[in-house]
């Protein structure tokens, strides 16, 4: 059974930093592109960033590019999101998620973590 467990969320002041982590289990982590998706309170889903299995390709939403960095440790089966220069509009539940197929992202995301709340406020 696939398990994705996020950690690292919390309250941070504007301009501050946080590092989210996601511990993965139940699948061959290194084969899959992984992604972070966020959801602001009462709002819809927003794709944030993705990283291919070998970390060769990184993708970011315009809203976070230059401030957030996605990374992974395939030896530890972990995914990370370093978030710097945080803004109030970054307040959201952040989900770690796995794409359905190892070979492509085209089949969507079939596994999600429980989410971790990031609150950016003074």
Residues that bind another protein (CB under 8 A): 35, 37, 44-47, 50, 59-62, 95, 97, 100, 105-110, 112-115
The residue (of 13 and 65) whose beta carbon lies closer to another protein is 65
The residue (of 106 and 122) whose beta carbon lies closer to another protein is 106
Query: C-beta of 50: minimal distance to another protein in Å?
Result: 7
Residues 6+ apart with CB under 8 A from 82: 17, 19, 68, 69, 70, 71
The residue (of 5 and 84) whose beta carbon lies closer to another protein is 5
Distance separating alpha carbons of residues 108 and 71, to the nearest angstrom: 20
Query: C-beta of 120: minimal distance to another protein in Å?
Result: 21
> Any idea what DSSP says for residue 106?
T
Query: C-beta of 122: minimal distance to another protein in Å?
Result: 26
The residue (of 37 and 118) whose beta carbon lies closer to another protein is 37
Half-sphere exposure of 8 (CA within 13 A, CB side): 18
Structure tokens at 75: 């030896």
Query: C-beta of 105: minimal distance to another protein in Å?
Result: 5
Distance separating alpha carbons of residues 18 and 64, to the nearest angstrom: 13
């Amino acid at each position: 059974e696939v398990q994705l467990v996020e950690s690292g969320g919390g309250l941070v002041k504007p301009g501050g930093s946080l590092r989210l982590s996601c511990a993965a289990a139940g699948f061959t982590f290194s084969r899959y592109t992984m992604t972070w998706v966020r959801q602001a309170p009462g709002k819809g889903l927003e794709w944030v960033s993705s990283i291919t299995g070998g970390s060769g390709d990184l993708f970011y939403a315009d809203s976070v590019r230059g401030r957030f960095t996605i990374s992974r440790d395939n030896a530890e089966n972990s995914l990370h999101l370093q978030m710097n220069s945080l803004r109030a509009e970054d307040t959201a539940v952040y989900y770690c998620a796995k794409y359905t197929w190892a070979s492509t992202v085209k089949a969507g995301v079939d596994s999600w973590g429980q989410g971790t709340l990031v609150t950016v406020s003074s």
